[in-house]
Amino acid sequence: MPRKVKNMEHKGIARKAVTAGLAAAMALSMAFTPAVALAAPGATGQITVTADSGDNASTKYSAYQIFAGDVVDKDGSKTVANIAWANDSVRTAVVNAIKAEDSSYADPTDASASAQQAAEFINAHITGTNNTTILDNASFGNKLADAVDGIADKTTVTPGTAASLPEGYYLIVTADVNGKVDQNGTSPIFAIVGGSAVTVKEKTTVPTVEKQIKDDDAANFGKAASSELGKKLDYQITGTVASNLATYNTYYYAFKDTPSAGLDIDQSTIHVTIDGTEVDPSSYTVAATPGSLSVEFQDLKAAKNTKGAAISVNATSKVVLTYQASLNANSVIASQDNPNEVHVEYSNNPNTDQHGFTKPDKVKDYTYKLGLVKKDKQNQSRALSGAKFTLQVKNADNTSGDNGKYVQADGSLGNTAHEFTTGTDGTISVDHIDAGTYTVKETVAPKGYEPVSDFDVTITDNTKDMSTADDALTLSAASTGSQDVKTSADANKGTVTIMVSDVKNNGLPLTGQSGLMVTVLVGGAIVAASATAMAKRKKSARE
């Protein structure tokens, strides 16, 4: 990113924060040596700057000496006597900052008097600070730091390592962090070095981002979900800001989302809130292309609500982006998953245009493949073609409103039953289905076979139990309602297989059946006639 230029020098800071309040740290003695114009070599002191968070342990700091002097520890604080400018460049930068604050300020010609007067001005205009104070962007302390940062004369300080510096009064800022991941600069640190060793802590935190997904009517958001083709799921992205937000004049903030090719984001469902307050869309811009979504604030601090009123954004604010997305025909099956990753790009250098990036966070949406194999029960090597089946949702994995709908040819759900027909290999295959319970009905059996009874198949996964997007997928399947059905599942392939066995019809053949009936009927008539004749003979004999 482009950076501002001060005194023909590039600025190299990021966040700035007060560690030792000027009112205390600038307990400057009014005594000085008039003959001293600029600093002369003298005693040294030690200072250690500790990093607060993120990857800032690898960040470097720049220490600018503003005043030289004799430092003494007294009553728990430090005083500086015999004040002198550290160099001509810093004198010019500080005096210009003072004149910008007070146009009536006149810089004495004498260098020693100039240093003493400047110290008095600084002490009077930076008050009420302590070792936790975050300087506001409009404060004189921040303006002073902005003026000094960028001059050539500086010393590099490594976090956690004691640096030996000539005694005096210093400004410490973060060196260049432009384009860095999980790094953030500190607000201005003003400290007196000399006497006993000094340890100061940077005043900043690194913004973070968390992405979550919800299985429709699930109680909570999580790191993974499963769905069928076209099913819209809720996504939620929560970002934090830097603790020294107040130091920034403007604060660039953008969600950079990278959905996989198998996901379609519905832009009409995009909403942004700050601390629960809906942000008016005019406060940000949305740019979407296949595989990319950007929701960008040029200045988060200028965000307005839907009524046009300013939203108060502070160091603890949370920015939440929500939208819905669904799987498309490019979505991949199961363990390959369909990831959706996001990071936040944000201002990470007060008074410059530098940007940094959070570490990314992601979620996954899984979808599965259902295969049905139709075989002869007595001869499992014989595949049966021409069987027709419907798949109806009995108990949806996520939304009860889907119960009763039918699986369509592409895996989506519809209100009209779709019949799947087994091919010459006896199989049916449908991609992009969700976990849940389905009722399978054989509407037409192969010729010469009896259809199986309706049965249920339940597909179960562990997506709701995943604590991270990198957790391993588990997948299982079970059936009820028919002894002629067996199920299996493969989490690595994301497939569920149903084995359905049909039984042949066992009715007697029709060929010769009518002849058999005639024989039976004729035989019956003969028996009946014989019985009648015998009865007549018995009657005649009695007579």
- Whether 94 has a pLDDT exceeding 90, the answer reads yes
Query: Which residues have C-beta within 8 Å of that of residue 483, sequence separation ≥ 6?
Result: none
Indicate the residue among 178, 201, 224 that finishes a domain: 201
Please tell me the predicted confidence (pLDDT) of residue 511. 54
DSSP string, 352-402: S--EEEPPPEEEEEE-EEEEEEEEESS-TT-B--S-EEEEEEEEESS-GGG
Same domain, 48 and 106: yes
- Whether 529 has a pLDDT exceeding 80, the answer reads no
Same domain, 131 and 15: yes
How many structural domains are present in the chain? 4
Give me 237's structure tokens. 């992205």
Q: Are strands 44-50 and 198-201 parallel, antiparallel or unpaired?
A: parallel
d(CA 212, CA 210): 7
- Strand, helix or coil for residue 441: strand
Same domain, 76 and 189: yes
Euclidean distance between the first and the last CA atom of the chain, given in angstroms as a whole number? 135
- Whether 279 has a pLDDT exceeding 90, the answer reads yes
Neighbouring C-beta atoms of residue 57, cutoff 10 Å: 13
Neighbouring C-beta atoms of residue 349, cutoff 10 Å: 29
Tens digits of residue pLDDT in 232-267? 999 999 999 999 999 999 999 999 999 999 999 999
- Strand, helix or coil for residue 533: helix
Average pLDDT over residues 346-352: 84
Same domain, 192 and 213: no
d(CA 309, CA 304): 5
User: Among residues of the chain, what percentage have pLDDT more than 70?
Assistant: 83
Same domain, 402 and 361: no
- The residue segments making up the domain with residue 68 are 5-201
Indicate the residue among 350, 365, 380 that finishes a domain: 365
Same domain, 197 and 268: no
- Which of the residue ranges 29-43, 57-71, 140-154, 296-310 has the most confident prediction, judged by mean pLDDT? 296-310
Same domain, 324 and 419: no
d(CA 391, CA 441): 7
User: Nearest CA to 243 among 309, 181, 187?
Assistant: 187
Tens digits of residue pLDDT in 431-475? 999 999 999 999 999 999 999 999 999 999 998 889 888 899 999
- CA 453 vs. chain centroid, Å, equals 46
Indicate the residue among 201, 234, 254 that finishes a domain: 201
Average pLDDT over residues 86-93: 96
Higher pLDDT, 35 or 437: 437
CATH code, 424: 2.60.40.10
Same domain, 140 and 219: no
d(CA 137, CA 50): 23
User: Is residue 336 within 8 Å of residue 321, measured between CB atoms?
Assistant: no
Same domain, 354 and 381: no
Torsion of CA 401, 402, 404, 407, to 10 degrees: 170
- Whether 482 has a pLDDT exceeding 80, the answer reads yes
User: Nearest CA to 326 among 232, 211, 215, 410?
Assistant: 232
Tell me the residue type at 536: K
User: Nearest CA to 56 among 209, 181, 188, 243?
Assistant: 181
Give me 259's structure tokens. 């959905």
- Whether 361 has a pLDDT exceeding 90, the answer reads yes
Average pLDDT over residues 77-82: 87
Same domain, 380 and 346: no
Average pLDDT over residues 75-91: 91
- Whether 369 has a pLDDT exceeding 50, the answer reads yes
User: Nearest CA to 242 among 166, 295, 163, 317?
Assistant: 317
- Whether 268 has a pLDDT exceeding 80, the answer reads yes
